[in-house]
Amino acid sequence: MSHTANRVGIWSLDHMHARSYLNAVCARDDLDEILLLEETNRDLAHQIAAQTGVSVASGPAEFLERVDAVIITSDNVHHAPLALAAARAGVHALVEKPLATRIPDAVAMVEAYRQASLVLATSFPCPFSPAFQALAARARAGELGDVLALRCTNRGTMPGGFFIERERSGGGAVIDHAVHVADLLRRITGRDPQRVYAEIGHGLYHQDWDDSGLLTIEMSGGTFSTLDCSWSRPGSFPTWGDVTIKLIGSEASATADLFGQRLEYYPAEPARPKWIGWGSDLDALLIDDFLEAIRAGRQPVSSGEDGLWALRVALAAYASAQAGAPVDVLPGPAVDREGL
């Protein structure tokens, strides 16, 4: 494994998080080169390059030759082919969630990076939240007693774009938002998800993609969680959405609002109010950990294996909704995408 991480690339501007990651990378003073590859909108790439001072690659071959590590922010269906190309080139990768849209693809990604002794990270910034870390620390220390159940939300506004093109996203609200909380549940309970029951609907926007999801997730130790991962926030909502966890323990209960560090801003002019975060930059912390993992030769906090487990939960939710019954997370359910 190469422990060099001085040249970082952003591959694609398809995902809304690409700009945040680019800003975080540009704010660093320990990089020799920042490279951008955007193949479908080259004018936008050059516009951003002019604003930020980053370089623009002419194509994948040049891009992969010039970088040590890449942040993949394409549409979901291209995560696997882009990551596997990076692995073949000996390039470490941080891949936007979901890790892939199919379990075999995610397994292939994890195995390819393991065999190449490269770092594969999943874009799960929530584990870096101070609120989540405080809740998880209390749970692990036994302060709340046995963890009996959790009530979680990851609701958001409908993002549009490729997110509502099922052939590019792999689904809708569930594959977009369930993966974050599925990952947090493994961390806070120390257990893997075992079964999922889901009710998934299209009742908000009445399209062929899912906009609503209510999941019950049973962990291997018997703890269970409910999760609302719907795109239920209106366009006028002050921010994109939320991530909240209420943990019910045998001795005490506790709640974490992962985006509670915010100011509520009400402008004088006719405009919607905004929530302005004043706390930790979770995207920057995610990238810090990714680059530190490469340099230290260790696994990242949010690994490819973490992304694989979260994907299993999301796809089990789709399979459960189709079957009208609970579905085992392993070995991995088959999903009829035409029935989503």
What's this model's pTM, rounded to 2 decimal places? 0.95
Tokens read off for 145 = 């007693």
Distance CA 155, CA 177 (A): 7
Q: Report the percentage of the chain scoring pLDDT > 70.
A: 97
Distance CA 288, CA 290 (A): 6
CA dihedral 80, 22, 51, 46 (to 10 degrees): -10
**The pLDDT value given to residue 340:** 41
Determine how β-strand 55-56 pairs with β-strand 33-37.
Answer: parallel
CB 121 within 8 A of CB 304: yes
Question: 117-142 burial by CB neighbour count: b if 16+ within 10 A, else e?
Answer: ebbbbbbbbbbbbebbbebbebbeee
CB 157 within 8 A of CB 231: yes
Placement of tokens 């082919």 in the chain: 81
| Model confidence pLDDT, tens digit, residues 207-240 | 999 999 999 999 998 999 999 999 999 988 898 8
Determine how β-strand 274-277 pairs with β-strand 244-249.
Answer: unpaired
Strand-pair partners of 216:
197, 226
As its CATH architecture, domain 126-280+310-339 has 2-Layer Sandwich (3.30)
Radius of gyration, CA atoms only, the chain? 20
Say whether 6 sits in a helix, a strand or coil: coil
| Model confidence pLDDT, tens digit, residues 8-43 | 999 999 999 999 999 999 999 999 999 999 998 999
Instruction: Name the nearest CA neighbour of 81 among 67, 97, 95.
Output: 95
| Model confidence pLDDT, tens digit, residues 146-187 | 999 999 999 999 999 999 999 999 999 999 999 999 999 999
Placement of tokens 């795109």 in the chain: 231
Superfamily of domain 7-124+283-302: NAD(P)-binding Rossmann-like Domain (3.40.50.720)
Placement of tokens 């591959």 in the chain: 11
Say whether 200 sits in a helix, a strand or coil: strand
**The pLDDT value given to residue 335:** 53
| Model confidence pLDDT, tens digit, residues 230-271 | 999 998 889 888 999 999 999 999 999 999 999 999 998 888
Domain range annotation of the chain:
7-124+283-302, 126-280+310-339
**How much is the mean pLDDT over the chain?**
95
| Model confidence pLDDT, tens digit, residues 88-104 | 999 999 999 999 999 99
The pLDDT of residue 338 is above 50? no
Strand-pair partners of 291:
none
Alpha helices in 53-155 (DSSP H): 60-66, 79-88, 103-115, 130-140
